[in-house]
């Protein structure tokens, strides 16, 4: 807890005793360390109240009091851990059943199971599980006595000798036990764990304590992000941070969250994309930058959408969208191997997806033609294209431009069938205001979106570097906004000015990391890969 005040007090320690407990906390903040320790070493108030109570809680509090009565602090400060469960399991993999070692270790973790009146405890730490054996042969009588007051859910430290029991369980023969934190609430059922999705999301810690699958998902999420960082820094990309509070919400077509800065009396938006700031850094001379970023979009929540989500945006000067395709493949294939035992194939539901590079590449209009038989490049007029779409059974919004019509048909007819990884290339200019016009077709841009499992997982362009064209595109977006499209982009004149100083030809790439984690962990919902997904607030 931050202690911001340096103010000292002349109050004598003795005076503290007459203060009510709640008031003491306030005072802690301005005390010297010495005085703080004096206060903290005082016996804490008898713990009798939790936020709500029942017989199960009371039973644990009783055990806590028993420990205190024996002089045990149920919430001590530290413990010297010398080994982790999984390391021990691996190290002694070949230890024979019934064999002893001479290795004395100290482990710490949560009691997950308690058998034979505590003689056998399953202890779990961050890496895995190990059994603890408490017996009068090695454990002093007073500790054997304390063991009665240990409960499932308590966090304890254990020191002892590693052995393997005759039935084959790697075990520590406890010579010393130490209560490290008393749990006063019952853990969920040990066999089934937490199934209630609401508890899983609102009290993620309970999900993590009880469900190995959830722990594994979040470990893989971390490994995937670590891999992305590793491959990019290995290729001389520089990790940077750009603002999350934007005076203009740019870089994507989306509804922003808005807020207000009091001191500046200024409206600010939570960023919908870091794109325009990252490009400013490229203009500044950082030729290869990336940001693993949280974005915020004030839109619907679904199995694939959370209001805040994580992506990585990458910019590489002197590269184009072809380079970005191969970079996408390197990142995704490599991340897949990193969490999938070196394999490029993963199961997702009843599907198998193979991320092995190179991926297929097809243009958007080509795929639309494959599905509908209509070559929309021969119908460049928006109204005629919309008419054709209607004949295909896909109504478009009135006033849609050509690109929006093509995109709508693509979304309706093609998208869901893009199961194996594929780059959809050369998207319409109308829907790509930050991408460079295609070098051979003025209605298209050098932009691609990568799909897998029917989901967009990456979006990239040869970045638009021409300030005159960029200004024109922004103006088109502005007129779309005026016509009621509240997701059209805002005009960012400062960004155009930056382009006027000269931006090198640049390839830019964004990858949705939550969706990538979903694919690589066989997770059906984005809420299963975001530790604390956005939920409605509930007051208990």
Partner RNA sequence: GAUUCCGUAGCUCAGCGGUAGAGCAUCUGACUUUUAAUCAGAGGGUCCUGGGUUCAAAUCCCAGCGGGAUCACCA
Residues 197-256 that bind RNA (CB under 7 A): 197-199, 201, 252-255
Closer CB to RNA, 153 or 317, in the complex: 153
Beta strands in 9-99 (DSSP E): none
Kindly tell me which residue out of 83, 131, 281, 516 binds RNA, with binding defined by CB under 7 A: 131
Closer CB to RNA, 299 or 493, in the complex: 299
Q: Does 20 bind RNA (CB under 7 A)?
A: no
Site string for RNA, 283-302 (x = CB under 7 A): --------------x-xxxx
Q: Does 192 bind RNA (CB under 7 A)?
A: yes
Closer CB to RNA, 179 or 283, in the complex: 179
Q: Is 95 left (phi over 0), alpha (psi -120 to 50) or beta?
A: beta
Enumerate the H helices of 340-442 as residue ranges: 364-372, 382-391, 402-409
Closer CB to RNA, 218 or 309, in the complex: 309
Residues 33 to 92 in contact with RNA, rule: CB under 7 A: 54-56, 59-60, 63
Please state the closest distance from residue 176 (CB atom) to RNA, in A. 18
Q: Is 484 left (phi over 0), alpha (psi -120 to 50) or beta?
A: left
Largest CA distance in the chain: 89
**In degrees, to the nearest 5, what angle opens at C-alpha 239 toward C-alphas 233 and 240?**
170
Kindly tell me which residue out of 50, 100, 113, 391 binds RNA, with binding defined by CB under 7 A: 113
Residues 457 to 476 in contact with RNA, rule: CB under 7 A: 457, 459
Q: Does 14 bind RNA (CB under 7 A)?
A: no
Closer CB to RNA, 313 or 320, in the complex: 313
Q: Does 155 bind RNA (CB under 7 A)?
A: no
Q: Does 428 bind RNA (CB under 7 A)?
A: no
Cα–Cα distance, 214 to 218 (Å, whole number): 6
Kindly tell me which residue out of 4, 260, 341, 536 binds RNA, with binding defined by CB under 7 A: 536
Closer CB to RNA, 105 or 452, in the complex: 452
Closer CB to RNA, 16 or 254, in the complex: 254
- Do residues 518 and 526 make contact, with C-beta atoms less than 8 angstroms apart? yes
Q: Does 193 bind RNA (CB under 7 A)?
A: yes
Entry field: residues in the chain: 540
Kindly tell me which residue out of 26, 41, 48, 116 binds RNA, with binding defined by CB under 7 A: 116
Residue 445: which of 453, 433, 459 has the closest Cα?
Answer: 433
Closer CB to RNA, 34 or 538, in the complex: 538
Q: Does 190 bind RNA (CB under 7 A)?
A: yes
| Residue tagged 């690109």 (tokens) | 403
Q: Does 366 bind RNA (CB under 7 A)?
A: no
Return the C-alpha torsion angle 129, 133, 138, 140, nearest 10: 90
Regarding beta strands 238-239 and 288-296, do their DSSP bridges make them parallel or antiparallel, or are they unpaired?
parallel
The token duo for 105 is 């270790």
Please state the closest distance from residue 172 (CB atom) to RNA, in A. 12
Closer CB to RNA, 285 or 349, in the complex: 349
Query: Residue 152 carries which DSSP code?
Result: T
Cα–Cα distance, 459 to 220 (Å, whole number): 23
Residue 340: which of 127, 90, 522 has the closest Cα?
Answer: 522
Kindly tell me which residue out of 2, 21, 167, 349 binds RNA, with binding defined by CB under 7 A: 167
Residue 219: which of 520, 526, 533, 534 has the closest Cα?
Answer: 520
Q: Which stretch binds RNA (CB under 7 A): 180-188, 232-240, 367-375, 473-481?
A: 180-188
Kindly tell me which residue out of 11, 390, 524, 532 binds RNA, with binding defined by CB under 7 A: 524
Residues 302 to 331 in contact with RNA, rule: CB under 7 A: 302-307, 309
Closer CB to RNA, 157 or 251, in the complex: 251
Beta strands in 203-286 (DSSP E): 238-239, 245-246, 258-261, 266-270
- Do residues 358 and 450 make contact, with C-beta atoms less than 8 angstroms apart? no
Closer CB to RNA, 44 or 395, in the complex: 395
Please state the closest distance from residue 174 (CB atom) to RNA, in A. 12
Closer CB to RNA, 317 or 434, in the complex: 434
Please state the closest distance from residue 171 (CB atom) to RNA, in A. 6
Q: Which stretch binds RNA (CB under 7 A): 189-197, 222-230, 238-246, 463-471?
A: 189-197
* Helical packing angle, 33-40 and 21-28, nearest 10°: 160
Q: Does 120 bind RNA (CB under 7 A)?
A: yes
Please state the closest distance from residue 538 (CB atom) to RNA, in A. 5
How does DSSP assign 21-36, residue by residue? HHHHHHHHTTS-HHHH
Cβ contacts of residue 54 below 8 Å, gap of 6+?
none
Kindly tell me which residue out of 70, 90, 195, 294 binds RNA, with binding defined by CB under 7 A: 195
- Do residues 119 and 148 make contact, with C-beta atoms less than 8 angstroms apart? no
The token duo for 275 is 């794109």
Please state the closest distance from residue 479 (CB atom) to RNA, in A. 17
Kindly tell me which residue out of 171, 214, 400, 445 binds RNA, with binding defined by CB under 7 A: 171
Cα–Cα distance, 287 to 238 (Å, whole number): 9
């Amino acid at each position: 807890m931050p202690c911001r005040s340096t103010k000292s007090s002349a109050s004598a320690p003795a005076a503290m005793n007459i203060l009510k407990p709640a008031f003491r906390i306030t005072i802690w903040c301005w005390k010297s360390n010495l005085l703080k320790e004096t206060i903290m070493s005082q016996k804490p108030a008898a713990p009798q109240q939790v936020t709500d109570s029942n017989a199960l809680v009371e039973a644990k509090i009783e055990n806590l009091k028993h420990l205190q009565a024996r002089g045990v602090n149920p919430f001590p400060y530290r413990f010297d851990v010398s080994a982790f469960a999984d390391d021990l399991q691996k190290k002694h993999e070949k230890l024979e059943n019934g064999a002893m070692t001479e290795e004395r270790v100290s482990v710490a973790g949560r009691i997950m199971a308690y058998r034979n009146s505590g003689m056998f405890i399953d202890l779990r730490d961050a890496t895995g599980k190990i059994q603890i054996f408490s017996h009068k042969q090695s454990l002093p009588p007073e500790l054997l006595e304390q063991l009665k007051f240990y409960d499932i859910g308590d966090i304890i430290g254990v020191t002892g000798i590693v052995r393997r029991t005759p039935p084959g369980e790697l075990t520590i023969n406890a010579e010393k036990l130490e209560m490290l934190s008393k749990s006063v609430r019952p853990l969920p059922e040990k066999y089934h764990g937490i199934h209630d999705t609401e508890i899983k999301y609102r009290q993620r810690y309970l999900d993590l304590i009880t469900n190995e699958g959830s722990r594994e998902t979040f470990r893989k999420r971390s490994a995937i992000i670590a891999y992305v960082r590793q491959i990019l820094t290995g290729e001389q990309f520089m990790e940077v941070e750009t603002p999350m509070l934007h005076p203009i919400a740019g870089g994507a077509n989306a509804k922003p969250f808005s807020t207000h800065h009091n001191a500046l009396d200024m409206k600010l938006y939570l960023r919908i994309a870091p794109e325009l700031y990252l490009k400013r850094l490229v203009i500044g001379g950082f030729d290869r930058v990336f940001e693993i970023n949280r974005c915020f979009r004030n839109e619907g929540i679904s199995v694939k959408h959370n209001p805040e989500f994580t992506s990585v945006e990458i910019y590489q000067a002197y590269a184009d969208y072809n380079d970005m395709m191969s970079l996408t493949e390197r990142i995704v294939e490599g991340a897949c191997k990193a969490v999938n035992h070196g394999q490029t194939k993963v199961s997702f539901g009843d599907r198998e997806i193979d991320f092995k590079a190179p991926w297929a590449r097809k243009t958007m209009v080509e795929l639309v033609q494959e599905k509908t038989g209509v070559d929309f490049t021969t119908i460049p007029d928006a109204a005629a294209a919309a008419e054709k779409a209607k004949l295909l059974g896909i109504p478009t919004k009135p006033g849609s431009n050509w690109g929006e019509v093509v995109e709508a048909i693509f979304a309706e007819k093609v998208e869901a069938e893009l199961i194996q990884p594929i780059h959809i290339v050369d998207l319409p200019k109308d829907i790509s205001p930050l991408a460079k016009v295609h070098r051979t077709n003025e209605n298209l841009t050098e932009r691609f979106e990568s799909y897998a499992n029917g989901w967009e997982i990456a979006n990239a362009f040869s970045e638009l570097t021409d300030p005159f064209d960029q200004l024109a595109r922004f103006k088109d977006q502005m007129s779309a906004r005026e016509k009621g499209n509240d997701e059209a982009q805002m005009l960012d004149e400062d960004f155009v000015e930056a382009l006027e100083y000269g931006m090198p030809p640049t390839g830019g790439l964004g990858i949705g990391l939550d969706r990538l984690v979903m694919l690589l962990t066989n997770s059906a919902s984005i809420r299963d890969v975001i530790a604390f997904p956005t939920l409605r607030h509930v007051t208990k």
